[in-house]
Amino acid sequence: MNSNRFCGTVPHKFKQLKLLFELDISNNRFNEFEGTVPKELFDKDLDAIFINHNRFRFDLPDNFGNSPVSIIVLANNKFHSCVPASLGNMSNLNEIILMNN
5-19, 49-63, 64-78, 81-95: the lowest-pLDDT one: 5-19
Decide: residue 52, CB within 10 A, 0-12 exposed, 13-18 middle, 19+ buried: buried
- Each domain of the chain, given as residue ranges in start order, spans 12-97
pLDDT tens column, 3-56: 877 777 777 787 788 887 888 888 876 576 788 888 999 999 999 999 998 888
d(CA 78, CA 93) in angstroms, rounded, equals 22
